[in-house]
């Protein structure tokens, strides 16, 4: 099966988790784009969506799905999003599309996080994919020095500005044997807005190539 086909199947499978009359949390990326298409086909059954990025907001709006503010919606029943890596415990690296901060906020606000991936995203140990860290621009060098001390090799994703007006450092060659501890440590560096490690709150359900992972 091609990677794209795996993404399509997972995106469509996630539609089965959507309940009538609900507001759905929507992630970002090419896998989520398939989910948004499926959501468009059932838009009359939902109240709307809370979006994690300008990119997803555009796709949702084009399909006539109301995009709501998380402050108004309150807690959500369901959040659907992709990932760059997923370990056997459902812990994730996210943020390849630079939308990690809003993604983490919506994941935290949601009762169930359904992660949709193709088989290539499955890993035994997180860390082959560079871990994105969103930083306040003036803190870029300071945060990079601290990330070096934590054993990673940060590289500035030059030219990319997040939806929140911040910058991204991608941390390469990280030994992530304890991703929960690393997530906590990175969060403590002044100037860090968000780290793309979703370990403390990972996925509740993982769908791989359209099939629910046991
Ligand atoms: C965006 C993300 C995406 O979920 C992640 O990059 C996977 O994207 P894709 O589905 O296009 O492979 O975290 O910030």
Q: Looking at the structure, do residues 171 and 95 belong to the same domain, yes or no?
A: no
Are 67 and 7 members of one domain?
yes
Show the beta-strand stretches assigned E in 54-139. Answer: 76-81, 85-86, 92-93, 110-117, 131-135
Domain co-membership, 113 together with 141: no
Ligand 1 site, CB within 6 A = 7, 27-31, 81-84, 94-100, 103
> Which residues are paired to 198 by β-bridges?
92
Report which ligand 1 atom has the smallest distance to the Cα of 7: 10
Q: Do 107 and 206 lie in a common domain?
A: yes
Do 115 and 86 share a structural domain?
yes
Q: CA nearest 206: which of 17, 43, 71?
A: 17
Q: Are residues 19 and 75 in the same domain?
A: yes
Q: Given ligand 1 and candidates 97, 164, 166, which is best to mutate, with the most ligand atoms within 8 Å of its CB?
A: 97
Contacts of 93 (CB under 8 A, 6+ apart): 83, 84, 85, 126, 127, 129, 131, 132, 196, 197, 198
Output the pLDDT for position 52.
98
CA of 30 to the centre of ligand 1 (A): 7
Domain limits for position 141: 131-196
Q: Are 164 and 100 in contact (CB under 8 A)?
A: no
Spacing, Cα 50 to ligand 1 middle (Å):
17
Looking at the structure, tell me whether residues 116 and 35 fall in a common domain: yes
Q: How far, in Å, from the CA of 47 to the mean position of ligand 1?
A: 25
**What are the residues whose beta carbons fall under 8 Å from the beta carbon of 184, sequence distance 6 or more?**
200
**117's tokens:** 């991936």
The Cα 111–Cα 12 span in angstroms is 20
Do 92 and 10 share a structural domain? Answer: yes
Give the residue, by CA position, lying nearest to ligand 1 atom 8.
29
Average pLDDT per block of 10 residues along the chain, 214 residues long:
97 98 98 98 98 98 98 97 98 98 98 98 97 98 98 98 98 95 98 98 98 91
CB atoms within 10 A of CB 125: 12
Ligand 1 atom index nearest CA of 121: 12
What is the structure's pLDDT at 155?
98
Q: Which of 6, 86, 96 to mutate to test the pocket of ligand 1 (most atoms within 8 A of CB)?
A: 96
Cα torsion for 105, 11, 60, 110, to the nearest 10°?
-30
pTM of the model: 0.97
């Amino acid at each position: 099966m091609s990677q794209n086909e795996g993404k399509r199947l997972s995106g469509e499978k996630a539609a089965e988790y959507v309940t009538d009359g609900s507001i759905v949390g929507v992630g970002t990326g090419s896998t989520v784009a398939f989910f948004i298409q499926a959501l468009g086909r059932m838009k009359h059954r939902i109240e709307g969506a809370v979006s994690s990025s300008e990119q997803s907001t555009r796709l949702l709006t084009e399909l006539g799905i109301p995009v709501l503010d998380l402050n108004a919606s309150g807690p959500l029943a369901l959040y659907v999003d992709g990932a760059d890596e997923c370990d056997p415990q459902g812990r994730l690296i996210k943020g390849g599309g630079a939308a990690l901060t809003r993604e983490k906020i919506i994941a935290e606000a949601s009762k169930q996080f359904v992660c949709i991936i193709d088989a290539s995203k499955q890993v035994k140990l997180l860390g082959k994919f560079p871990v994105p860290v969103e930083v306040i621009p003036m803190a870029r060098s300071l945060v990079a020095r601290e990330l070096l001390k934590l054993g990673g090799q940060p590289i500035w994703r030059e030219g990319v500005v997040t939806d929140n007006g911040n910058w991204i450092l991608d941390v390469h060659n990280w030994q992530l044997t304890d991703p929960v501890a690393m997530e906590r440590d990175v969060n403590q560096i002044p100037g860090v807005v968000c780290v793309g490690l979703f370990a403390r709150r990972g996925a509740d359900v993982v769908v791989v190539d359209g099939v629910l992972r046991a």
